[in-house]
Amino acid sequence: MVNSQTAVNPFATRLLEKFSHAQRKMQDGARNVLGSLDTRIAATPCDIVYTEDRVRLKHYRPVTPQRVKTPVLITYALINRETMLDLQPGRSVVRSFLDRGVDVYMIDWGTPTRKDRYLTIDDHVNGYMDSMVDVVRRRTHSQQINLMGICMGGTFSVMYAAMHPHKVKNLVTTVSPTNFDTEQGLLHIWLRDMDVDHMIEAFGNIPGDLLNFAFLLLNPARLMVDKYVGLLDNIEDKAFLENFVRMEKWIFDSPDVPGETFRQFMKDCYQKNLLIKNKMKLGDRRVDLNNLTMPLLNFYGRFDHLVPPEACERLVEVVPSRDATNICLDTGHIGIYVSSKCQKAFAPKIVEWLTEREMPPKPKRKPEKKVRAPQPQKNLFHEQVPMDIGATQLGVVPSDNPQHAQNV
Amino acid sequence: MKEAEKTTQDGMPGQPFFDYWQSWYEKEWKPFFNMPQFGMTRYYQEHTNQNIDKYYELQAMLTEFSSLLCQPIEKSFQAVGADVFSAGAQDGKADAGKAYYSKWISALEKEYMTLFRSTEYVGCLNKAMKTLNDFIISRQTVLEDMLKLLPIPTNSEMDGLYKELYELKKRVRNLEKEQVQQ
């Protein structure tokens, strides 16, 4: 009897402790949930300086004297919203840029309705984007702008820069798919044989909720179970809860995607991989990546399950630019913008890279290793930046792709 | 029915059941919803029957898809369950829950990744999307039949208008650009 008590009591005591700890945690959590939480997103002050149909151009109010002379135009994807770049004060790419003296403009694609279903990629790239670029150029009296693209917005930026190279001084692409012939990502596998025409016929525009469901299915164990277990685990932590709600607000705020744009993106990119083959057409014009002679900085995440490294890294190999750099960060698709460990390796690196390219061109020198036969052009830098060197200097783990390794 | 009770080793467990259900529906019920209609209301009746048919197909497909999505859950519980019971028999640790949860969630993630890359899953996903699209299109047709009686424009009518608006705007924009260039 005594033996059995000594065996049971420690277990029961610990169990009781656990229960009382959980109870306290839930009480604190309830107080947090029912109390006042600061869950505002996109709080950095900005002005709407141009509107065309549903699309708006935001200009962020400077907080320090401008140090990078050429303005930066950020193009977000049509999926989810650009608010992700300004999710919270301490983890805001926009705020980081402003603090370092960058003049920041951003395209807000708005909320497409059924009347937008016929808008094509051409309308977005050569229509809206071109108008926005012209507005920024006019407002800042600049001949060229720095173009930065996020995810699908990066793919659009690549197309734009290839079709209007004279307007783009530097191109920064982040987690932007350009090579769709890969099996690394589930989306690439799932979409290969999807009947996109049938989908457009049924839906008109592709509903944001349908896309959200597809994204959740990419990793249901983590995104539908573990994430919320994590929330319960930390619910007594107010700051954690506020950040969690901010992320939830952003992630489920998904506008519909215009039908014709979705159709072309799926068929020409995901199914035929035309962009990287220089065969993609917008309207009646071909997107020729050989026009990408401007400096190019290409970021991607090693653990990105949406746009895997293979979908991003080939771009620097196919463009003629001799100043093309890949930087692979040890994070996922969203972590690159919001994770605390990337706050130093992402936005500051971009500003540093842009600042270096604000200086007068250096005298031409022979490149150490060419990605492709150079096409010299006036007023362009011809400095070869070995891939991943920037990442190494920053303490960010460089890509382990053998093709990259030989360039370091 | 015996066929339906079998589970395959390589393919989806339960697939024979869904195949049996599908063939039973196709043979016994589908013909009723696809028989020719007569008289003045034949088109309306045909559209409604088609919609019911597509609804049943969608329900069957969603059940099959959901069952496929539940497989990793079952497999992960099986994988971790044995560990939990054997360890539980040895010592009743009150704080072992976290470790088991962590093991289970990793097993679940692994099972899902295996499933999502399989041809069975991709095939099932495509079929599910096809039946969903078919149902939405057919529902739209029935709704448009009803809306004809009311002073409300249908999606097809609005789409026509949107298309014209889109083309007109594009033409105006191009003309504006040409004018600016001149």
Window 164-183 of A: residues touching B by CB (8 A cutoff) are none
For β-strands A86-88 and A91-92, DSSP reports them as antiparallel
Structural element, H or E, at residue A10: helix A2-34
Q: Which two tokens stand for residue B40?
A: 């003045």
Q: How many helices (DSSP H) and strands (DSSP E) are in chain B? A: 7, 0
| Number of residues that make up chain A | 408
Q: Are B45 and B34 in contact (CB under 8 A)?
A: no
Apex CA A294: angle with CA A291 and CA A296, to 5°? 110
For β-strands A102-108 and A55-60, DSSP reports them as antiparallel
Please give the residue of chain B at the shortest CA–CA distance from A9. B92
Distance, CA of A6 to CA of A235 (rounded, Å): 35
Where along chain B do its domains lie?
A: 2-151, 153-182
| Contact with chain B for residue A365, Cβ under 8 A | no
Distance, CA of B145 to CA of B50 (rounded, Å): 13
The residue of B124, B125, B141, B172 whose CB has the most chain A CBs within 10 angstroms, and thus the best one to mutate to test that interface, is B125
Residues of B in contact with A216 (CB under 8 A): none
DSSP string, A366-379: --SS-SS-----TT
> What's the one-letter identity of residue B163?
K
**Is residue A151 among the annotated active site residues?**
yes
Q: What is the pLDDT of residue A152?
A: 97
Give every CB contact of residue A313 below 8 A, 6+ residues apart in sequence.
Answer: A179, A298, A300, A326, A328, A399, A401, A403, A404
The Cβ of residue A215 has, within 10 Å, a number of other Cβ atoms equal to 18
Give every CB contact of residue B139 below 8 A, 6+ residues apart in sequence.
Answer: B51, B54
Examine the predicted complex and report whether its ipTM is higher than 0.90: no
Q: Which two tokens stand for residue A16?
A: 């009781």
Where along chain A do its domains lie?
A: 46-201+257-405
- A190, A220, A229 ranked by CB distance to B112: nearest: A220
Q: Which two tokens stand for residue B66?
A: 């959901």
Q: What is the fold, at CATH topology level, of the domain defined by A46-201+257-405?
A: Rossmann fold (3.40.50)
Q: Which two tokens stand for residue B52?
A: 């019911």
Q: Where are the alpha helices (DSSP H) in A93-217?
A: 93-99, 121-122, 130-140, 152-163, 186-190, 196-203, 208-217
Structural element, H or E, at residue A192: none
DSSP 8-state secondary structure symbol assigned to residue A396 = P
Average pLDDT of the residues of chain B: 86
Are the Cβ atoms of B130 and A198 closer than 8 angstroms? yes
Q: What is the pLDDT of residue A57?
A: 98
Residues of B in contact with A202 (CB under 8 A): 132-134, 136-137, 140
Terminal CA-CA length for chain B: 77
Are the Cβ atoms of A118 and B137 closer than 8 angstroms? no
- B4–chain A nearest CA distance, Å: 28
Phi, psi of A23 (to 5 degrees): -65, -45
List, for chain A, all residue ranges whose pLDDT scores fall below the cut of 70: 1-8, 360-408
Distance, CA of A64 to CA of A69 (rounded, Å): 13
**Is the four-CA dihedral A150, A152, A155, A159 of positive or negative sign?**
negative
**Is the four-CA dihedral A383, A385, A386, A389 of positive or negative sign?**
positive
Given a cut of 80, whether residue B93 has pLDDT beyond it is no
The Cβ of residue A60 has, within 10 Å, a number of other Cβ atoms equal to 21
Distance, CA of A50 to CA of A58 (rounded, Å): 8
Q: How do residues B13-47 score in pLDDT, each as one tens digit?
A: 667 788 888 888 888 888 888 888 898 889 999 99
- B93, B126, B162 ranked by CB distance to A118: nearest: B162
Phi, psi of B117 (to 5 degrees): -95, -5
Please report, for residues A119, A180, A197, B57, the alpha-carbon distance to residue B167 in angstroms, rounded to integers and kept in the order given. Answer: 10, 31, 21, 38
Residues of A in contact with B130 (CB under 8 A): 195, 198
Please report, for residues A353, A369, A401, the alpha-carbon distance to residue A397 in angstroms, rounded to integers and kept in the order given. Answer: 18, 22, 12
Please give the residue of chain B at the shortest CA–CA distance from A305. B113
Distance, CA of A18 to CA of B120 (rounded, Å): 43
Q: What is the pLDDT of residue A370?
A: 41
DSSP string, A293-325: -S-EEEEEETT-SSS-HHHHTTHHHHS--SSEE
Distance, CA of A272 to CA of A121 (rounded, Å): 16
Q: How do residues B118-168 score in pLDDT, each as one tens digit?
A: 999 999 999 999 999 999 999 999 999 999 889 999 999 999 999 999 999
